[in-house]
Structure 1
Amino acid sequence: MRLHVDQRHERVLELVRERGSLRVAELAAELGMSAVTLRRDVEALAAQGLVERLHGAVVWPSGQPRPVPAAPSAEGLVVGMVVPTTEYYYADVVRGARETVEAAGARLTIGLSHYLPDEDAAQTRRLLSTGADGLLLTPSWERGCPEPGEGLWAVEQETPVVLVERWAPLGHPAAGLDRVRSDHAHGAAEAVAHLAGLGHRAIALAVQDSPTAPRLKVGYRAAVEALGLSPVPASPLENTPSRSEQDRFERTLEYLCEGVASGHVTAAIVHSDADAIVLIPRLQARGVRVPEDLAVIAYDDEVASLADLPLTAVAPDKRAVGAAAARLLLSRLGASDPDAPAARTAGPGARRHLDILPALRIRVSCGAAAS
């Protein structure tokens, strides 16, 4: 027998009052209603302040007496994740997200952009069309953040969105999105401070062109100024980007060799550790001893420990970034992780910007282990 609208509303209120929170799909199935009809009923009840809506769930209004609800289940949820690649840096980011999503009983689906123009939005549409309830997005923004007018598609999504290893400047519409990222500026500053603690006053920064580079430069410059270190001539790649990997290595090599020979450089931070592994043998072939003549700290710590001269490295906690982003998105979808208090306290309206600090791993290349 079909229930009258008032009867439906009464039954919805009874179930939500009894259980505290219910997923819309579960409630529709229990009442034998279509999801479309139930959503209309929930909207009407929410407009009267009788229930609250949370992405995909119905909850009893805060402040009203009700039973303590169990954490909403993530069972059946699909989390879409768009990343440039699943190799190198992003392998651990994806791994952290996947472990968290699957531990909650949900499923992770992946879209790859390969840094191709417009592919981020295309992969997002594809994931949504195949049932994604929320999105973890790492857009292919060259500087790690959108240029003016860029990235508006990320803001226009109707599903919850969490930016991963990306950010947006104040005033940009995407600045209001949830985000989780490594604090690369802090990581670079920690490297500068460590080298300064070893007695170095002239520290160079050699970075490849990547979304990470702008934040490394911010942290490096801030630390050099704060510690009163000697200014060092900038890498020639600052003004004229490299044309190829070979060009990047040759020009960086010349820059560091000239800095050491002139006495203007005694230490360097090199991004990435793969670049450092290529550069150090070339420096040694030119008579520059590491760490005696040039102390080196690499950035990323993907393969730094495997170098024949183990590299001191700044290590972003990529798996933690992926896991934290997944927990935040699941909380937006109404599925709290009982082992993650931060997810339970996020709430539907409290946007969050989480910066996870990298760690500094001391090995031989900076000279600290030798001393």
Structure 2
Amino acid sequence: MRPHVDQRHERVLELVRERGSLRVADLAAELGVSAVTLRRDVEALAGQGRVHRLHGAVVWPGGVSTVGPRTRQEPAESTASTPSTGSAEGVVIGMIVPTTALLFADIVRGAREAVGAQGGRLVLGVSGYVDTEDAVQAGHLLAGGAEGLLVAPSWSGGVPVGGQEQWLLDRGVPTVLVERSAPPGNPAAALDRVRTDRAHGAAVAVGHFAALGHHRITAVLQEGPHAAQISAGYDSAVRSLGLDHARGAPSVREHGDYDSSVDYLVDAVRERGVTAALVHSDEDAIVLVPRLQARGIRVPDDLALIAYDDEVAPLADVPLTAVAPPKRAVGESAAKLLLQRLAERGSGRRPAPRQHVELLPELRIRSSCGAKRPAH
């Protein structure tokens, strides 16, 4: 027996309140009624102000979540220890990241906490490092009610080429780039952005090696969005410190090309007298250390290592000294900046100047660089 209309309405309210939002078609299927019937129910409830209807979805008042494919809702509960800097009750923030693993896990967490602390909701889209998927995810998020976007686009070099930024500029909503940038002259350079100053982190690593007495230093870096920044910081520090740049030029290799990386480092140690190396990422460093040792290169005795990212560096057999980006702080700062832009738009006041924010990573000392961990 089908439930009475009042019972069905109560069940609709229960499900939408529990999940934040649902597609009308999905809700109809779950309740075992036709889409036409369910749309009538939603229209009746929306007329009473008990739910909102938006782009084929039914939404609980005060919070909207996306229901598009490959999109996942992040809960709005906050665990932030700092007090809220304002109120954004009911605001919906869309966030697009290439992955939720490793680096981006903490970035998303920081953004979620910052939004939740001000009474808003963060909704997540994942592109899977597929460039064309960024725009698709943005469409889902905005259709679901997102009022602004935090975006880490799938730009392979970390910056847009060939018009990759255009979809961002066409959205017409406040947008903050996260861990990405655009070069001067590119239209996306006018967007707000928050990222780690990876060049500074590389320079800190080189400086630490130099302080330990190393003069011939190299680097093995992954191809990807951060390689250019890390390489620039490495080069600048080597030149500034007067180190032997010619003997330790960095090598940028495809992720997973471990054999070539090992061959490069073995040759650097035996033929060029290199005694220290910066390796991005710490996952790569964990793979390289036993392979180097199998070739007779001991870490840190023959080659001191510093890894970059500090995701799993402490878990290595030889615990890795690592450059640690301020991941959660990046997400938090980006979210707060976007909330500021939305507040400015809502109040109609003149917006503050756009911001390019760079947060500094820190060096965490462990065994692989050959230095004792400092006392605290």
Give TM-score, length-normalised by structure 1: 0.74
Matched, 1:212 2:226: yes
Report the AA paired with residue 93 of structure 1: I
- Give the superposition deviation at 1:335: 7.8
Matched, 1:366 2:375: no
The one of 80, 86, 104 equivalent to 2:100 is 86
CA 1:267–1:335: 2 relative to 1, 3 Å: same
Q: What aligned pairs does 1:37-76 form with structure 2 within 5 A after superposition?
A: 73-76=87-90
The one of 288, 292, 311 equivalent to 2:297 is 288
Q: After TM superposition, where is structure 1 displaced by more than 3 Å over at least 4 residues in a row? A: none
The one of 142, 147, 153 equivalent to 2:167 is 153
Q: Deviations over 1:125-168 (max 9, x none)?
A: 11001100110000000111111422111122211000000000
8 Å contact kept, 2:203–2:237: yes
Match of 1:126 in 2: 140
Q: Deviations over 1:184-221 (max 9, x none)?
A: 01000110011011111111110111101110011001
Matched, 1:223 2:223: no
CA RMSD in angstroms, aligned pairs only: 1.9
CA 1:184–1:347: 2 relative to 1, 3 Å: farther
Match of 1:256 in 2: 265
Matched, 1:77 2:80: no
- Give the superposition deviation at 1:83: 0.3
- Cα distance in 2 for residues equivalent to 1:233 and 1:75: 53
8 Å contact kept, 1:142–1:210: yes
Matched, 1:324 2:333: yes
Match of 1:171 in 2: 185
- Give the superposition deviation at 1:259: 1.1
8 Å contact kept, 1:332–1:347: no
SS in 2 for 1:327: helix
Report the AA paired with residue 153 of structure 1: W
Report the AA paired with residue 158 of structure 2: G
SS in 1 for 2:193: strand
Matched, 1:297 2:306: yes
- Give the superposition deviation at 1:234: 3.8
Match of 1:265 in 2: 274
Higher relative contact order (CA 8 A, sep 6+): 1
Matched, 1:108 2:117: no
Residues paired across the two proteins, number: 286
| Most deviating of 311-320 and 71-80 | 71-80
8 Å contact kept, 1:304–1:311: yes
The one of 275, 279, 293 equivalent to 2:284 is 275
Q: Structure 2: where are the runs of 5+ without partners?
A: 1-84
Give TM-score, length-normalised by structure 2: 0.73
8 Å contact kept, 1:72–1:335: no
Q: Deviations over 1:259-284 (max 9, x none)?
A: 11124311000000011011001111
Q: Deviations over 1:63-121 (max 9, x none)?
A: xxxxxxxx863111000000001111100000000011111100000011001131001
